[in-house]
Structure 1
């Protein structure tokens, strides 16, 4: 049985404290003339990695850290001498004695010291087929892959999981730190195509990887032909059909219902029971609205297309995802579509349909309401002069409607872009240019509009420890499952320090030392500086916050967080997340699972179903409404 050893996993690993306690004993007793085997050497290298990343025990003072650093320098010398003196023609013996957690760093050291050049081609070929060697550990080292290019290529051509390695590097979305994988330059595109095709010949292929093939994006490093993609689609359908035919899955039923009700006092009533989500709107409330501007505002106030900060509420939000949605492989080229997002998407589409039916019942139509809003609110009241928006006739077919409204939406973006940049909308100038505009680049009238989180360690720490459902700090007796995160726990309960378990106290102590938390005279844990933490929480829940919706005192705090690079600012019409949402609907510039509503109708690759054309038209109307709401918000915010 292997003894407990020091292991370095990554910079943010929560086991660092325990590993450093083990390292402390080794450092205190280290002597360079001591005899070490391969696993002892790799353990010393793991200790060095903690110091390379400036990770220390809290109890160490600066003098202890300085002394330990001197010891680590001696350790690196010991490691180097050991690897330089290895008999590389007998390297397989050393490999067979490696403990599992040291496989990866073994090859890292060989690369860093350039001792891979001491390995003969024949020996390396034997290493590749050794049962104790994992090719993924070798592929993490660029120079080794380059040196043994042909040997690794030949191995990958016959290795059954090469497709999965390629997809892991080029297509899979990773949420944790990982090493890049490198592939031989001699492995050409036709080789990759053959490897993937062979993988798809196996009916037992992993459906997660098959789906990654389906959603893969063309790049210089990885390309999947349409023929291979179709082969993957057919295999995926077959695997999933067999899965459910054999009753291996668990089916969950969800039902969404929307209706208009007479004699309902409240404008909006929501009920949710056993997967049945029901929304009813008051006919009396709708009948009471007499002007078209109020009727248009139903999309923001009644249907909740946007929230109190005029952020689009229909986007995907990671904070709304179920725990199960984080399981399995995810493509980095697809728009995430969790259960909550699909529910919001379905309901918003149904709201368009049911509202259109209501308007027809009172001899109006949605297009006339939108047109009146543009003319009376945006142009007349808010002085957005020269704005033009054309609608198809009521007699037009659904196909004709889609083909007209899609370019109108794009032209709306161009007009607003011109208004912000030039102060006016000049149609003759806009008509000269036929180049499409990138949605994410359309500017805002506000210099400071959106506030985002960054990859700054302080932001990540607060977000993950205070708000993430995966944090281990909020599960505390006697509150158990009452709250979803540490922030909710601490602002709602008086939590005594001693209620935390020993494995939690280490992180709580750090948060106290770093002045995020404090302990009062009754030993109760309190949030010390709540405002920055609150703002980061708002970003966690909503992906972004709107600078203009905060009072001056809070804006000062935001500015300080931006100055310290904890947060960052954006000044576009749409937030990054809203821009992603529009791209998901309109084109495949970002997401391979896009609905592609604009491009497929422009290029004639749409289907023949009139019903489908009707759905597409309603979705484009929804996007148009959202843009108009965002423009109205910009104009009202910047009027004074």
Structure 2
């Protein structure tokens, strides 16, 4: 459903830009030819937009080498600190999506699979199957999808669980985990700073911590404590794991037997002959191009803003 909604939005946005005389591929080309050199003094990236008069089929076949080329250029920039086209020409070995590096030494945080307590904590707070939804207070709506949402919208008290000793034990366990507080009168209050981190880990499976408002909340100290306790592990790559899976599904069949295999089908001439399907695949190709340029721009911006110094110890 989410993919369908994004497809429709992007299609309408492309039509809107076209009415304004703006070609989205030219906008991507502008990012590398003008925006990055002017904003961050980074020059040498090359991305060429296809001609506006070409068919969706021709645009797809033009765009995939450009997308792959810009990923390889960025990976070279990460490794060498500059772009050297002689090296790019010599290194023709295809790179896996997961192998594209990042300028940030520490970029993404994931739950350590060897640390069971953090996963258990997330399940109790955010799962629709959490035992903590067994609340006996008749004034509280029984249709909440998670204990987290129930706490946000209702006043919860430990007395609401008189016949659920296991629930009470788990609530005190969550307090020991510092994700909630139990006040003297039994009222349960969430520790919003910790819970917001857990929320993103549960729903997104990853966090890029540099977007949290460190100047307003105690999130940096909470994250550092979780890292020191080995609850979270760092990875450094341009795309996070979910994005890698998405791109591998869209582009090839290296991970998923049911992958769309768009890159290989169009570059090897095994694509559909249906014009309508080609137009749909063109929108999907543009989405991949947009994701790539946004991730490269993000990586450079975070690096230039000193992200490598925030968790250096």
**Shorter-normalised TM-score: what interval?**
0.7 to 0.9
Residue 259 of structure 2: aligned partner: 594
CA contact (8 A) 1:387 1:425 kept: yes
Which one of the candidate residues 295, 298, 312 is aligned to 1:630? Answer: 295
1:523-562 equivalences in 2 (<5 Å): 523-527=186-190, 531-550=193-212, 551=214, 553-562=218-227
Equivalenced residue count is 296
Which one of the candidate residues 357, 366, 370 is aligned to 2:28? Answer: 370
Residue 233 of structure 2: aligned partner: 568
Residue 496 of structure 1: aligned partner: 157
Shift in alpha-carbon separation, 1:349–1:530, aligned structure 2, 3 A: closer
Shift in alpha-carbon separation, 1:513–1:468, aligned structure 2, 3 A: closer
Cα distance in 1 for partners of 2:171, 2:134 equals 17
Which one of the candidate residues 469, 472, 480 is aligned to 2:141? Answer: 480
Give 5+ residue unaligned stretches, structure 1: 1-341
SS across alignment from 1:568 = strand
Residue 169 of structure 2: aligned partner: 509
**Which structure has the higher relative contact order (CA within 8 Å, separation 6+)?**
2
Cα distance in 2 for partners of 1:443, 1:459 equals 28
Residue 520 of structure 1: aligned partner: 183
Which one of the candidate residues 119, 124, 127 is aligned to 1:460? Answer: 119
Kindly state the Cα deviation for residue 518 of structure 1 after the two structures are TM-superposed. 4.8
Cα distance in 1 for partners of 2:60, 2:247 equals 16
CA contact (8 A) 2:45 2:83 kept: yes
**Is structure 2 residue 82 aligned with structure 1 residue 424?**
yes
Residue 65 of structure 2: aligned partner: 407
Kindly state the Cα deviation for residue 371 of structure 1 after the two structures are TM-superposed. 2.0
Which one of the candidate residues 85, 101, 104 is aligned to 1:443? Answer: 101
Q: Which moved more, 1:584-593 or 1:543-552?
A: 543-552
Cα distance in 1 for partners of 2:182, 2:244 equals 43
RMSD of the alignment, in Å?
A: 2.1
Cα displacement string for residues 376-410 of structure 1 (whole angstroms, at most 9, x for unaligned residues): 21233222311001122223332222111111111
Cα displacement string for residues 589-622 of structure 1 (whole angstroms, at most 9, x for unaligned residues): 1112211111112222212123322221221111
Cα displacement string for residues 139-184 of structure 1 (whole angstroms, at most 9, x for unaligned residues): xxxxxxxxxxxxxxxxxxxxxxxxxxxxxxxxxxxxxxxxxxxxxx
CA contact (8 A) 2:128 2:145 kept: yes
CA contact (8 A) 2:108 2:236 kept: yes
Kindly state the Cα deviation for residue 513 of structure 1 after the two structures are TM-superposed. 5.0
Cα distance in 2 for partners of 1:533, 1:352 equals 32
Give 5+ residue unaligned stretches, structure 2: 306-313
Cα displacement string for residues 404-451 of structure 1 (whole angstroms, at most 9, x for unaligned residues): 111111111101101111101112211112211111121211122211
Cα displacement string for residues 17-71 of structure 1 (whole angstroms, at most 9, x for unaligned residues): xxxxxxxxxxxxxxxxxxxxxxxxxxxxxxxxxxxxxxxxxxxxxxxxxxxxxxx
SS across alignment from 1:390 = coil
CA contact (8 A) 1:462 1:533 kept: no
Shift in alpha-carbon separation, 1:449–1:511, aligned structure 2, 3 A: same
Bigger Rg, structure 1 or 2: 1
